[in-house]
Amino acid sequence: MCSDPDVPRAARVSSNLAIDRLPRALRLASACLAASTAFALAGCHQRPQAAPPAKPVVAVAVHPDGRIAEASLPGEIQARYVTPLSFRVGGKIVDRYVRLGDAVKTGQIVARLDQADAQKNLANAQAQFDAAQHRLVYAKQQLDRDTAQAHENLIAPAQLEQTQDAYAAASAQRDSAQSQLALAKDQLGYTTLTADHAGSITAEDADTGQNVTAGQAVYNFAWSGDIDVVCDAPERELPQLAVGRTATVTLPALPGKQLSAHVREVAPAADPQSRTYRVKLTLAAPDASIRLGMTANVAFAAADETAGAHPYTLPATALFHQGDAPAVWVVRAGTDTLELRPVRVARYDERTVSVTSGLNDGERVVLQGVHTVSAGQHVRAVPPLHPEDFAS
């Protein structure tokens, strides 16, 4: 740059300093502008990191042995004892005294057969008995005479023996005729059909004028007294339905009414069609408002006062370890995250373990793949594909 002689030297020095400083300021400003632009661009293109998907794990809710989860089964009100009413002899029905739905008292006559043949048989048996009785009296008189003569040696011993044999035969014939007479009386009595217990008629299987055979049902008879609730349980609940287990029974026909019942009988074999097991429960306090044939809901409560005394039977594949102690993976409720829970194992079996502490009723336990998960991991519980593989 050329110097002007008219400009003072101090002014020229100041101008030169400003010129020297100008490129540096521009460079700093450019650098700051570039950095700000880079940060702004980085902020514009930054995206939030997506949460990892929940890992599916095979886990189910566990319950102490001898208990089941709360469940409700449909059922039907039935009499505990339902028997057919039938004659013990064959014949023609001439009278029927009750109809469908009628209440019957103990000893009440419900039907009658034609008694003509039975009365003739009774008369014949009575005549035979009278004849046998007469021969016995005669044989006894003959025996007394021969016995007295034998003492006087008026007759031979062989004749006395014949008389004694005749008396014994007459006595046996009298006894046989007496039995036949009693049987004929019973046969006549069997032509009248009576109820052995109080109850009600639930079906009519024969009509007046019909010829029936011995044992053929005329009525279907439900006894009064104990009333059952009958339901069909699936296989998965069968091991827990022990005899004596209590349940609550509600009836749609009687809203607001709850009844207590206990399991009385569990069928030993499944129905070949439905593959369910018939379960019979007896109502604790039935009343007159409960009618046979009503539909019912049978609810088995999950709570049990003796729950603490029951161990948990788990498949051996569910067992993990925490240091040297056994443990299982538990899926926390609400968060669906994993927690490694130490447990106490009382018994090791071939395919199962018996856990006596460390678990609560209803908690979900991982049954498979316990070595591929970690504490706090977010999971999604899925049922086993083949539940029978994890059955105890």
What was the pLDDT predicted at 300? 79
What digits encode the pLDDT tens for the residues 322-375? 888 999 999 998 899 999 999 999 888 888 888 988 999 889 999 988 999 999
> Is 265 part of a structural domain of the chain?
yes
What digits encode the pLDDT tens for the residues 236-263? 777 677 888 888 999 999 988 889 999 9
Helices and strands: H and E segment counts in the chain: 3, 23
List the 211-212 sheet strands across, edge first: 192-194, 109-113, 91-96, 211-212
Give yes or no: residues 250 and 346 share one domain: no
Whether the predicted pLDDT of 22 surpasses 60:
no
The domain that holds 176 is classified in CATH as: 1.10.287
Q: What is the DSSP string of 320-357?
A: EEETTEEEEEEE-TTT-BEEEEE-EEEEE-SSEEEEEE
DSSP letter (8 states) at residue 378: B
Least confident of 208-212, 229-233, 298-302: 298-302
Give yes or no: residues 135 and 110 share one domain: no
Contact 194, 110 (CB under 8 A): yes
To the question of pTM greater than 0.85 for the whole model, the response is no
What was the pLDDT predicted at 18? 44
Residue from 265, 281, 293, 270 nearest 73 by CA: 281
The half-sphere exposure of 324 on its side-chain side, counting CA atoms within 13 A, is 0
Give yes or no: residues 86 and 218 share one domain: yes
Give yes or no: residues 361 and 332 share one domain: yes
> What φ, ψ does residue 345 adopt, rounded to 5°?
-100, 120
Give yes or no: residues 97 and 208 share one domain: yes
Give yes or no: residues 263 and 375 share one domain: no
Helix, strand, or coil here: 264? Answer: strand
What digits encode the pLDDT tens for the residues 82-91? 999 999 999 9
Give yes or no: residues 238 and 328 share one domain: no
Whether the predicted pLDDT of 35 surpasses 60:
no
> Is 61 part of a structural domain of the chain?
no
DSSP letter (8 states) at residue 127: H
Label residue 110 left, alpha or beta by phi (over 0 means left) and psi (-120 to 50 means alpha).
alpha
Residue from 347, 314, 341, 310 nearest 328 by CA: 341
Give yes or no: residues 207 and 339 share one domain: no
What digits encode the pLDDT tens for the residues 41-67? 445 555 556 667 889 999 999 988 765
Mean pLDDT of 307-315: 74
Give yes or no: residues 232 and 197 share one domain: no
Can you read off the two tokens belonging to residue 73?
A: 């089964």
What digits encode the pLDDT tens for the residues 90-121? 999 999 999 998 999 999 999 999 999 999 99
Give yes or no: residues 234 and 283 share one domain: yes
Give yes or no: residues 313 and 345 share one domain: yes
Give yes or no: residues 334 and 370 share one domain: yes
Mean pLDDT of 273-279: 91
Can you read off the two tokens belonging to residue 9?
A: 């030297």
Give the structural domain span for 371: 307-390
Mean pLDDT of the residues in the chain: 84
Mean pLDDT of 127-133: 96
Total domain count, the chain: 4
Helix (H) or strand (E) holding 72: strand 71-79
Measure the CA–CA gap between 107 and 101, rounded to whole angstroms: 17
Helix, strand, or coil here: 298? Answer: strand
Q: Radius of gyration of the chain from Cα atoms?
A: 49
The domain that holds 353 is classified in CATH as: 2.40.420.20
In the block, residue with structure tokens 């408002």: 289
Sign of the CA dihedral running 71, 75, 77, 83: negative
Measure the CA–CA gap between 307 and 302, rounded to whole angstroms: 10
Mean pLDDT of 178-188: 95
Q: Residue 215: CB partners within 8 Å, gap ≥ 6?
A: 86, 87, 88
> Is 364 part of a structural domain of the chain?
yes
